[in-house]
Amino acid sequence: MKRLPPLPALHTFLITAQCCNFTRAADQLHLTQGAVSRQIAGLESFLGYALFHRQARGLSLTHQGRELLPGIQQAFNLINTTLEQVGAQRETLQLKAPTCMMRWLLPRLLQWQAERPDVPVELTTTVQHGIDFHREEYDAAVVYGEPPGNQLASHHLFDEQLTPVCAPQLLAGPVPLQTVDDLEQHMLLHPTRDHRDWEAWLNGAGARISNLGRGQHFDTLDLAMTVAAQGSGVAIGDYALIGDDLAARRLTTPFDLKIHTGAAYYLVHPKSPTLAPPLRDLIDWLLQQARDGNAGPACQ
């Protein structure tokens, strides 16, 4: 392919041809008159023919200049149209999160989408708590457990805090729920196939109950919380994760004790010297949401 002239010189030619005056072209290009004149002279040297007649009263296009101008105009119009089309495209951010995060994360992503329709987010849920960005094509992820280490860029969202939760109508029912011992009279809802979350809270409360193994077990925390909100029992959950449910009185906390397990939630992404602005905006926004909530979720 034949070597093309420099693009800035062609743009200078286009503006100068429209003005037919070096001074006015320089004003539009934010250059000096001398710089415009030198660019035109350099372009003419590259092409091997003159583009303008220099006259005392201004400039006029040569025959070659008139032949060249329509094609240059069309080329720059195409460049502008392409840039506008690409700029208007909305790249969807891919986010992964564990299912136990949904009660906190999903309402906030819906709010984000209402405020920032220019940055759509596609959320993938999983029962797994980790992420492998080498194998999984996500822009960012929420992970649960210990700090992810130095291999990823990591942002602390909130710590796990375990506490029993139930529907408000359960407190007003015929069976009392005022002390830990009253749990003996209620169905316990487990967010995992074992009893570890309930055991951790009961150990923190210094209590033992006989019905720990007779409750209902679920595959996800979110499902256990949903059943609890229906008044079917008492689930173990996280105080901050259910902030929306508490505000809407779908759930309540019968006891004040909250147990910090040492686990936490982190928003992670591959390390990069510069993040794409849409991803940076989303990360900053979610971190602010976590700070405003002042806590976070528990998981299976």
Say which CATH number the domain at 121 has. Answer: 3.40.190.10
Domains in the chain: how many in total? 3
The mean per-residue pLDDT over the stretch 207-235 comes to: 90
Category of 192 on φ-ψ map: left (φ > 0), alpha (ψ -120 to 50) or beta: beta
- Cβ within 8 Å of residue 161, ≥6 positions away: 238, 239, 240, 258, 259, 260, 261, 295, 296, 298
My answer on whether 59 and 148 are in the same domain is no
Indicate whether 299 belongs to any domain: no
- Gap between the Cα atoms of 170 and 176, Å rounded: 8
Full domain range(s) for residue 80: 7-88
What is the Cα Rg of the chain in Å? 32
Instruction: Based on the fold, state whether residues 11 and 75 are members of the same structural domain.
Output: yes
Where do we find the tokens 């720990």?
212
For residue 22, what is the enclosing H or E element?
helix 22-29
* Domain end point (choices 55, 88, 121): 88
The residue type of 227 is: V
Indicate if 46 and 182 belong to the same structural domain.
no
179 token code pair: 């002390």
Work out the mean pLDDT of the chain and round it to a whole number: 89
Evaluate whether residue 84 is within a structural domain.
yes
Three-state secondary-structure class, residue 173 = coil
Extended beta strands in the chain, E state: 52-55, 58-61, 93-98, 121-126, 140-145, 153-165, 188-190, 216-217, 234-238, 259-269
| CATH number of the domain enclosing 34 | 1.10.10.10
Q: In the predicted model, what is the mean pLDDT of residues 287-299?
A: 68
Tell me, yes or no, whether 72 and 130 share the same domain.
Answer: no
pLDDT tens track for 159-194: 999 999 999 999 888 898 999 999 999 999 998 888
Give 90's pLDDT tier (boundaries 50, 70, 90).
Answer: low
> In this predicted structure, what is the pLDDT of residue 220?
82
Based on the fold, state whether residues 39 and 13 are members of the same structural domain: yes
Kindly state whether residues 150 and 285 are assigned to the same domain: yes
In a domain, 2, yes or no: no
pLDDT confidence tier of residue 111, bands split at 50, 70 and 90 = very high
Range with the poorest average pLDDT among 22-26, 71-75, 87-91, 137-141: 87-91
Name the percent of the chain lying above pLDDT 90.
60
User: Based on the domain organization, do 144 and 287 belong to the same domain?
Assistant: yes
Q: Is residue 222 part of a domain?
A: yes
Domain check: are 183 and 142 in the same one? Answer: no
Checking if the pLDDT of 129 tops 80, the result is no
Helices (DSSP H) in 89-220: which residue ranges?
102-115, 168-171, 196-205
Question: For the residues 278-295, what does the mean pLDDT come to?
Answer: 88
